[in-house]
Amino acid sequence: MSLQAQIDGSNLWFAQSQLHSHNHSLQPKSLVVTDMDGKLTLASNELLNGLNQLFQTSIKQKSRVSKGSVWLSLTNNSEVIQFIDPQELKALGEDGFIIKYIDEKKSVLITGNNQKAVLYGVFHYLRLLQTVAIDKDSLNITEIPKYKVRILNHWDNLDGSVERGYAGRSIWKWDELPTKVSPRYKKYARANASIGINGTVLNNVNANPHILTTEYLKKVMVIASELRPYGIQVYLSVNFASPAVLGGLDDANPKKEEVKDWWKNKVKEIYELIPDFGGFLVKANSEGQPGPMDYGCTHADGANMLADALKPYGGIVMWRAFVYNPKGWDRAKQAYEEFLPLDEQFRDNVMIQVKNGPVDFQPREPLSPMFGAMKETQVMPELQITQEYLGFSDHLVYLGTLYQEFLQSDTYAKGKGSTVAKVTDGSIYNHPVSGIAGVANIGEDNNWCGHHFAQANWYVFGRLAWNPDADVKTIAEEWVRQTLTQKDKVVSSIVEVMMNSREATVNYMTPLGLHHLMGWDHHYGPEPWCVVEGARPDWLPTYYHKADSIGIGFDRSSTGSNAVKQYFEPLRSEFDNIATCPEEYLLWFHHVPWNHKMENGQTLWNQLCLKYQEGVDEVKKSQEVWSKMKTYIDEQQFKEVQEKIAIQLKEAIWWKDACILYFQTFSKQPFPEGVEEPVHKLEELKKLKFDLKHHN
Ligand SMILES: CO[C@H]1[C@H](O)[C@@H](O)[C@H](O)O[C@@H]1C(=O)O
């Protein structure tokens, strides 16, 4: 694969360069577009390009539907109405589509209520051609996305750097805009549209107020117009202090009329430039960011002020609940404590954006108790696609399994079956908006995401935002077939590596419910011993593992911080009781003696060491599998992944050695049989200096 091809995005899944090996009895013969006013030009071009590439022929465009046609039309066409029930068409809403084999015409119809929906239908159809065998009977598909807002959050700064970004600099070229328009914007839009993503927040939640200057808004306008044809709305992160910093007001007190007016005027200016602007994302009173609490006001006061300004234009506010205070006993409890009393107070165009776990994007966390608990306010999940705590773009970690575990976690908010997906996608609580956000892993690296397999995490996020109940193994297979290879016998081996990769990472980094053992600022390698003078205690690993001569783990049970109280029954009791707490969360909820008997009869100490070893062994296995892929994979992709897996294995061993050697200073017990002798010395590991620059 040439460098240019990578930059062009030809190594992304939507390039449609290879066909699935299944025999397609329904090979399209012609394309018919019923389109009076040119609304479907983009969709039909995508389809034509895709089909031509897939079948390596030139598909003819015709004006009449005949045997073997693929027929694109909006639903308001009189012919379409003959074949599909009007109720069904109405139910499609804005983004839903139908792909249906029409017997009478011996052709395939792709239709939706607007151009964006038809485009989604086109991409879905192309995906099917590449990933499964389709026939007349299977082509009877209605797809309606579960979440209304399916959005990426870029933590991209105006100077081109990316907070927690591991794929090079930002793709947004603020210096060149508005005059020069990078070709990547359009490719980004296509890739996102192909998986149903319909929104993007361009800038970091640690927001530079300058994004709201007229100068920057004009740049934003250009990006918005590049993304618009693909159905992607632009949103911005805003700094709560903007009225003071930019507007010269005395402060940003949300109760003051002049502050409200400043926001109203700013919003008006934005909509004049970008009529379909989506709204604001806000990180307030969190990690030093300004917010309404600076003025004795609440999160609701702040969010509602912005919501009122956006409401006349249909805009929304995504207000983050990532708040924690170093004075608290347990960081995991704080969002709930701050936000639950405010339920019922938020406007209906506000969503509270909550990270999947109660702490911070760890390799594994139990669900945040916020899900299901806030009933009157729409809560939207925030997932992290960039691998801040999962080995950056050096480790192969397929996050589909993490996302699925979270989305299918039962909150019990309305009895059994109240999964996170159902309490947030509108199935259980019905609010006018719903949404799900993913913190992007995209940068200007040739391969877009730093690691070829990291693209799969962007892909699976989009597919789950469309349908949170979809099967992530199937999604992994889709991605492999569209991106790497169509050879059946190797597809399943690669999918297996992907499916095991997250558990492997949990095991070599933080097994059995441990969390936040990473270096306190870079969040990359292991530093469970880390003590930093002057640093917030809740940024240090020792705050989380609490290892001592008796045992290890954070006691969040009813005898400890009582974080368990924030969960619905029966979860609360299950987590609270050391005998029923799932072992994968054991040290999250309990301080457990070293000699505690685990389910398999091992002591906690032995099991902990064995888990670290299991993680390392799994990476060894994936290295072996990958080494056999050489003949099936593009040379450059093969080599680059191989190099990364070698790093991952080295670092999995680093993680294992660092953690078991350090925890041994408390347990004072030997390593059990089956655990490889550490190749490192603890004192040397403690002196290792991590070079962040090397990883960007
Ligand atoms: C954007 O800031 C990030 C910060 O870099 C990160 O270490 C932490 O995970 O979370 C913050 C947040 O989510 O606001």
Q: What is the C-alpha to C-alpha distance for residues 489 and 91, in angstroms, rounded to an integer?
A: 40
Residues 458 and 537 placed together within one structural domain of the fold = no
What are the phi and psi torsion angles at 249 (to 5°)?
A: -75, 165
Contact 625, 649 (CB under 8 A): no
Residue 425 included in any domain = yes
Res 534 pLDDT > 90: no
Residue 582 included in any domain = no
Instruction: Look up 388 and say whether it is catalytic.
Output: yes
pLDDT bucket at 535, cuts 50 / 70 / 90: confident
CATH number for the domain that contains residue 606: 3.90.1330.10
Return the best residue to mutate from 166, 203, 206, 383 for the ligand 1 pocket (most ligand atoms within 8 A of CB): 206
Edge-to-edge strand list for the sheet holding 30-34: 60-62, 30-34, 69-74, 107-112, 97-102, 140-143
What's the pLDDT at 393? 97
CATH number for the domain that contains residue 266: 3.20.20.80
CATH number for the domain that contains residue 28: 3.30.379.10
Q: What is the C-alpha to C-alpha distance for residues 468 and 423, in angstroms, rounded to an integer?
A: 11
Q: Of the listed 388, 410, 503, 651, which one is catalytic?
A: 388
pLDDT bucket at 11, cuts 50 / 70 / 90: confident
Residue bearing the CA closest to ligand 1, atom 12: 322
Q: Which of 101, 125, 143 is the last residue of a domain?
A: 143
Residues 95 and 176 placed together within one structural domain of the fold = no
Q: What is the C-alpha to C-alpha distance for residues 167 and 558, in angstroms, rounded to an integer?
A: 43
Residues 6+ apart with CB under 8 A from 653: 616, 679, 680
Helix (H) or strand (E) holding 323: none
Res 577 pLDDT > 70: yes
In a 10 Å sphere around its CB, with 0-12 CB exposed, 13-18 middle and 19+ buried, how is residue 617 labelled?
A: middle
Residue 571 included in any domain = no
Tokens 């069904």 belong to residue: 88
Q: Which of 648, 669, 653, 673 shows the shortest CA–CA distance to 612?
A: 653
Residues 597 and 459 placed together within one structural domain of the fold = no
Contact 383, 371 (CB under 8 A): no
Q: Left, alpha or beta for 158 (phi > 0: left; psi -120 to 50: alpha)?
A: alpha
What are the phi and psi torsion angles at 628 (to 5°)?
A: -85, 0
Residue 610 included in any domain = yes
What's the pLDDT at 325? 79
Residues 207 and 256 placed together within one structural domain of the fold = yes
Does the N-terminal peptide bond of residue 254 adopt cis geometry, omega within 30 degrees of 0? Answer: no
Res 429 pLDDT > 70: yes
Tokens 């939507």 belong to residue: 14
- Summarize the confidence of residues 60-64 as an average pLDDT: 94
161 lines ligand 1 (CB under 6 A): no
155 lines ligand 1 (CB under 6 A): yes
164 lines ligand 1 (CB under 6 A): yes
What are the phi and psi torsion angles at 235 (to 5°)?
A: -130, 165
For residue 94, the enclosing domain spans 3-143
Tokens representing 362 are 């760890």
Residue 174 included in any domain = yes
Res 54 pLDDT > 90: no
Contact 27, 67 (CB under 8 A): no
Helix then strand then coil, % of the chain, to nearest 5: 40, 10, 45
What's the pLDDT at 588? 98
Residue bearing the CA closest to ligand 1, atom 6: 164
Q: Three-state SS for 471? A: coil
Residues 288-338 have pLDDT tens digits of 999 999 999 999 999 999 999 999 999 999 999 999 877 778 999 999 999
Tokens 């969390």 belong to residue: 515
Q: What is the C-alpha to C-alpha distance for residues 229 and 111, in angstroms, rounded to an integer?
A: 17
Residues 6+ apart with CB under 8 A from 62: 30, 31, 32, 69
How many domains would you assign to the chain?
A: 3
Residues 40 and 124 placed together within one structural domain of the fold = yes
* Alpha helices in 551-693, H assignment, sequence order: 571-576, 586-589, 604-627, 635-667, 682-687
Tokens 């709201």 belong to residue: 212
Tally Cβ neighbours within 10 Å of residue 208: 18
Tokens representing 590 are 């309990």
Residues 391 and 445 placed together within one structural domain of the fold = yes
Residue 490 included in any domain = no
What's the pLDDT at 695? 61
- Summarize the confidence of residues 451-458 as an average pLDDT: 98
Residue 354 included in any domain = yes
Residues 477 and 605 placed together within one structural domain of the fold = no
Report which residue type is found at 228: R
Tokens representing 678 are 């550490």
361 lines ligand 1 (CB under 6 A): yes
| DSSP one-letter code for 347 | -
| DSSP one-letter code for 563 | G
Tokens representing 489 are 């016998």
Residues 6+ apart with CB under 8 A from 265: none
Distance 523 CA to ligand 1 centre (A): 11
Contact 460, 479 (CB under 8 A): yes
Residue 178 included in any domain = yes
Residues 255 and 355 placed together within one structural domain of the fold = yes
Instruction: Look up 104 and say whether it is catalytic.
Output: no
Report which residue type is found at 644: K
Q: Which of 450, 483, 516 is the last residue of a domain?
A: 483
> Bigger pLDDT: 63 or 694?
63
Res 358 pLDDT > 90: yes
Q: Which of 617, 581, 614 shows the shortest CA–CA distance to 598?
A: 581
What's the pLDDT at 465? 98
Res 693 pLDDT > 60: no
Tokens representing 378 are 């729409």
Residues 80-131 have pLDDT tens digits of 999 999 999 999 999 999 999 999 999 999 999 999 999 999 999 999 999 9
Distance 604 CA to ligand 1 centre (A): 32
Contact 630, 494 (CB under 8 A): no
Residues 602 and 645 placed together within one structural domain of the fold = yes
Q: What is the C-alpha to C-alpha distance for residues 6 and 447, in angstroms, rounded to an integer?
A: 6
Res 464 pLDDT > 90: yes
Residues 264 and 340 placed together within one structural domain of the fold = yes
ipTM value: 0.99
Q: Of the listed 88, 175, 287, 376, which one is catalytic?
A: 287
Q: Three-state SS for 693? A: helix
Q: Which of 126, 143, 160 is the last residue of a domain?
A: 143
Residues 475 and 526 placed together within one structural domain of the fold = no
The C-alpha angle with vertex 686 and arms to 683 and 690, in degrees rounded to 5, equals: 145
Residues 179 and 34 placed together within one structural domain of the fold = no
> Bigger pLDDT: 694 or 408?
408
Contact 148, 433 (CB under 8 A): yes
Instruction: Look up 287 and say whether it is catalytic.
Output: yes
